[in-house]
Structure 1
Amino acid sequence: MYAGRPRPPPAGSPRSSAWAPRTWGTRGPLRRLHGRAAGQEIARRAGVGTGTVSRHFPTKEALHEAIVLDRMEALAGAAERFAAEREPGEAFAAFFGFMVDAGALDHGLADALSGGGFDIAAAARGTDHNVLEVLGGLLARAQEAGEVRADVDAADVKALITGCIERGRGEADEDARRRTMSVVLAGLRSRA
């Protein structure tokens, strides 16, 4: 069954279920995860049996959460890199753009950010990849540096990111998304 394909890590290992979110990747919105069909598709892409998927993810919600948390981990890692390599205002703007671009390419992520049936804040609580906390940290640093207006909070910024994603989502108009993002970032700049 596994000839020429890597085996998933054994059950109970720290990353034993990591293969499913990475296998699903950005290939489809999370709303397309329909019961057995989702398990079968993920099993097919990962080169494992449907029983393996079911053992690791007994419900569609558990699979959904694993996929979203995997995506949140990648976003949090990007935020950390931006914070380490750039000035506070630049890091904030870069992460804002990164999230907008990621959400435009990954409809499942966009759905999660907009609250489409999944509470990312609750799922990420207690992990090292709470994107909303990371976003809030980048925002606070940029505000302390006088680069971003002091009268906005992370919830405002999340709503603005979602709006930018939605602007180009239906028609896949990257130019419209870029224009919207430029207007939003200009509006977030400190007026001092």
Structure 2
Amino acid sequence: MTADRPLRADAARNRSALLAAAAEEFAARGPDASVAEIARRAGIGKGTVFRHFPTKDDLLAAVVLDRVDGLAGLAHELMSAADPGAALLEFMGSAAGHQRQLDLSFLREAAGINDRLDGERAELFAAITALVDRAKQAGAIRADITGMDVILLMCAPNHVVSFVPGAPPELWRRYLGIIFDGLRPEGAHPLPEPVSP
């Protein structure tokens, strides 16, 4: 039994390295990413990649699921935070920070790859909406903000910074602050109709 443990640990490390390498390659090249280059980045053979993931779409779906699961896990953890407004801000900051470290715009290409991905994304959206509802109940954000508003705004800080040549690495935090101030109830004006999920 103990002899098996190093193999399981090695397999877990290989999978982690493979997903990290795949995320970087997909972020750089989109769906046209090379499996051979992913294997090279991960330090494993191309055959090993296909043993774990029979197709490139399976690998892309695994990368997306890994990111979505991480964000959903964080959202669930923050549901028990004492300060719902600070919890929502922490979640939005973490989501923007992860996106800054690795451009995840390629995730849009992964929609509908498999049913599990659709289910996990729905779970993430529900968790974000629950964070938003807690923040509203605590009076930390305005009452007319929806979960979908926050979902759509999560990518905004990095999107804005992408238009600034040579932007400092932490500039996105400035725009997250501006966005979050716009969510607060102080000085709020009525909003047009909300977007549908």
TM-score using structure 1 length? 0.74
Query: How many Å apart are 1:33 and its aligned residue?
Result: 5.0
Asked if 2 retains the 8 angstrom alpha-carbon contact of 1:72 and 1:130, the reply is no
Instruction: Give the match's secondary structure for 2:110.
Output: coil
Give the structure 1 partner of residue 27 of structure 2. Answer: 30
Query: How many Å apart are 1:154 and its aligned residue?
Result: 1.8
Give the number of aligned pairs.
177
Instruction: Give the 5 Å matches for 1:169-184.
Output: 169-170=162-163, 171=165, 172-174=167-169, 176-184=171-179
Q: Of 106, 110, 134, which residue of structure 2 is paired with 1:118?
A: 110
Give the structure 1 partner of residue 153 of structure 2. Answer: 160
Q: Are positions 1:93 and 2:89 aligned together? A: yes
Give the structure 2 partner of residue 57 of structure 1. Answer: 53
Cα distance between partner residues in 2 of 1:186 and 1:146: 13
Cα distance between partner residues in 2 of 1:48 and 1:111: 23
Asked if 1 retains the 8 angstrom alpha-carbon contact of 2:14 and 2:42, the reply is no
Query: How many Å apart are 1:103 and its aligned residue?
Result: 1.1
Q: Of 57, 78, 82, which residue of structure 1 is paired with 2:78?
A: 82
Cα distance between partner residues in 1 of 2:31 and 2:88: 36
Structure 2, gaps ≥5 residues long: 1-6, 189-197
Alignment CA distance shift 1:33-1:178 (3 Å): closer
Instruction: Give the match's secondary structure for 2:35.
Output: helix
Cα distance between partner residues in 2 of 1:21 and 1:75: 16
Using the aligned pairs only, state the percent identity.
31
Cα distance between partner residues in 1 of 2:49 and 2:175: 40
Alignment CA distance shift 1:61-1:31 (3 Å): farther
RMSD: 3.3
Instruction: Give the match's secondary structure for 2:175.
Output: helix
TM-score using structure 2 length? 0.73
Cα distance between partner residues in 1 of 2:26 and 2:175: 23
Deviations 1:125-174 (A, max 9, x none): 44499322221111111112121112121221122122212012354444
Query: How many Å apart are 1:49 and its aligned residue?
Result: 1.8
Q: Of 123, 131, 151, which residue of structure 2 is paired with 1:130?
A: 123
Cα distance between partner residues in 2 of 1:33 and 1:55: 22
Instruction: Give the match's secondary structure for 1:148.
Output: coil
Alignment CA distance shift 1:107-1:128 (3 Å): closer
Which consecutive aligned stretches of 4+ in structure 1 deviate over 6 angstroms post-superposition? none
Query: How many Å apart are 1:22 and its aligned residue?
Result: 3.4
